[in-house]
Structure 1
Amino acid sequence: MTDLSTRFLDCAFANPLMNASGVWCYDQTELDALNLSAAGAYVTKSCTLEPRAGNPEPRYKATPLGSINSMGLPNLGYRFYLDYVAKHDYARKPLFMSVAGLSLEDNLAMVREIKAANVPAIMELNLSCPNVPGKPQIAYDFDAMDAMLAAVCREYDKPFGVKMPPYFDIAHFDAAAEILNRYPQVAFVTCINSIGNALAIDTETETVLIKPKDGFGGIGGDYVLPTALANVNAFFRRCPDKKVIGCGGVKTGEQVFQHLLAGASLVQVGTALQEEGPAIFARLADELAALMAKKGYKTLGDFQGKLKTL
């Protein structure tokens, strides 16, 4: 028998699967569906201080190799999600709360409220939203990221994690990891958010696929799997005292296995969840268990983080 259970930040997970923030987690109906699904945990929509309608439609399109989106952080405001996590039954499964303020001051205001509420939810600070017009990704500005983490750590006394964009240069892996390692409270690193500012074109109509930002948006799905695996492994190697959550390009149990092998402790699902719905988690768990059995692995710890090099 294979055992998919794991522990993460002293919480028990039935399996390592969860949604990517932003997918199937906008409102009560979607969040409840994740709670009832086979996912080992789930995370709320990245929230802002006030509710946001997000970017104009169409802002998400499936493509043959994944998806492109420019959602613009549509969410119901942090008060809704804070109320939701306060009422959650944590004996059923762990729950993460994702925070994505549009400024340092907004983030600190939300962090103070989350701290005061003393909820058991695990906080994930989103440093990587690529789809808010006029707002750069904090994690691509290392000085700003350092200042953000220093300020949040002064306000928040529990372990939390950061949602990161993809990096493409070894020097940037080194620089980002050096900053993250300055903050022991940063207990996990989620890699990756979508690859920002791609462009998808419909040859027949000779138009872009989405409306915001003249068609520029973040891509996910098959396109990003190798980049996601590289980022997972890079931070797994560089941040030995932190956990890594893998995200990007997961639609089969084999790809879950690859994320875990590269160093992920948990694995998030985005584009494939959007297309298939929460039933995907049962399928992925079954496929992962079957692959583990085929390889003779009984627990995740038998192979997690044990990627070989040539």
Structure 2
Amino acid sequence: MEPIVLGLSGGVDSAVAATLLQRQGFAVTGLYLDIGLGGSGKEDAAAVADRLGIPLEVADIRAELEREVCAPFAADYQAGRTPLPCARCNPAVKFPALFRLADRIGARYVATGHYARVENGLLKKGMPANDQSYMLARLTRGQLQNIIFPLGNYEKREVRALAKDFGIPVADKPDSMEICFIPDGDYAAWLDRRGFSTPEGNFVDKEGKILARHKGIHHYTLGQGRGLGVSGPHRYYVSAIRPETDEVVLSDGSDLGRDVVHGVQPNWIAIEALTGPMEVTVRLRHSRTEQAAILSPEGDGIRLDMKHPARAPTPGQMAVFYDGDTVVGSAWIAG
């Protein structure tokens, strides 16, 4: 049997992935990634491993997570950007940890319970209802050559049904939706506790008129329309964040559309490099919404000329480019 390393989180997705890999003839070794916050994850992963009769190892990834994800996460908020920690973690922390164990035990492949597909080294969408290709679009061409996503052709409801059929002990465990290192979901409080909060400042309109005071720019993101606490002649939306003056600019939202989106640090997957304009569809946030655009090189980065204006493309988030079901590549949104 061919050995493979699977990220075993203690959740239903990775547990079903482990079972499917076993049925495909792989000798699965589970790896639980410990970030030091406790909870039931490690025990649940151990219960799954015991039920399936597979070895389980534990890797302490706290130092890598702090360096590659948590510190950039805080820096982004201080700079007025809205970070995307999972997209940073996958290529820099999670998959390198899996590959380290794979190298040690002589396994050619690693796997996770993500809803996406890899075909001939190319990253492709999973089933439409729960596709996770967006969050995986910073994986490198080299990494993808040796990754398997067993759930790529399944929907979540099918996976839960399989978990019950397989007798998996975490079949009814709720999905985890929050950022793993902020389990209560309150990222602003997390920043405050770590001394990364930003000072209070002014809400201003486009002409610079002061409308009210705000709690610090790390509480807000471009396009936000809720929780502002500012009354006026219309509903307000965040249309700009100015870290240099600690100002948050509010508008009626009519100025949030962008015909052009700029990106930096492109990561190419389906092509070696972008040498000229290319028609693509693009996701500008973690949703299933795709928009048509012309993707062009721009210095060391990229430019997207949108067929229809994109609403509030947010610095710090990611633009992912698609050719049908295939991920062409990605870039961090700069503005």
Category of TM-score, reference length = shorter chain:
under 0.3
Structure-1-length-normalised TM-score: 0.26
User: Where is the helix percentage greater, Structure 1 or Structure 2?
Assistant: 1
Higher radius of gyration, 1 or 2: 2
Greater per-residue strand proportion: 2
**Higher RCO (CA 8 Å, separation ≥ 6 residues):** 1
Q: What is the TM-score when the length of structure 2 is the normalising length?
A: 0.25
